Structure formats: structure tokens, C-alpha cells
Structure 1
Amino acid sequence: MRHYAHLCPFALRIFSVLLMIISIFLEKKQGFSNSHSDNR
């Protein structure tokens, strides 16, 4: 039980970092498509 409790914050940190990376990737993708439509 103690070991699991120690692992919880670590997993939360990884999850938050993954969410951040995904959000940045989506933002870049949106910006790229937006600039592409602007060029048209």
C-alpha cells in the first residue's frame, strides 16, 4: 500500500506531462493548418 502511494504522484506527473505534450502538439497542428489555409 505504501509503495503504491509513493508511485501515485509519479504517475500523476507523467500523466500531466503527457497531457501538456499532447496539447502542444495539437496546438501546433492547428496553427499549421491555419497558416496553410491563410496561404490559400
Structure 2
Amino acid sequence: GLRPTIPKNTHPKLVDLLERCWQQDPTLRPDFSEIIEILQKIAKE
């Protein structure tokens, strides 16, 4: 599937999270509790 282009100035950890969420294999995608934890860490930086 097509994915949107990630802007070059996007936080590297957010890029990593997006790419993990887009994994074809659902078992490789983070669950919502992990997503929230990652976003909270990014917000504190």
C-alpha cells in the first residue's frame, strides 16, 4: 500500500513509530499502550 511522505524535519523517533505502525505483519506493529508511551516520551524531549 501507499504511504504518505514523512517530512524531513519529523522527529526521528516519530518516523520510527510511523514505520513500525505501517508494518505489513500486524505482529510487528506496536499496540496502543506502546504508542502512547512512545508519544509521551517524544513530547517530553
Q: TM-score, normalised by structure 2?
A: 0.32
Q: Greater helix percent: which structure?
A: 1
Larger Rg, first or second structure (1 or 2):
1
Q: RCO greater where, 1 or 2, for CA within 8 Å and sep 6 or more?
A: 2
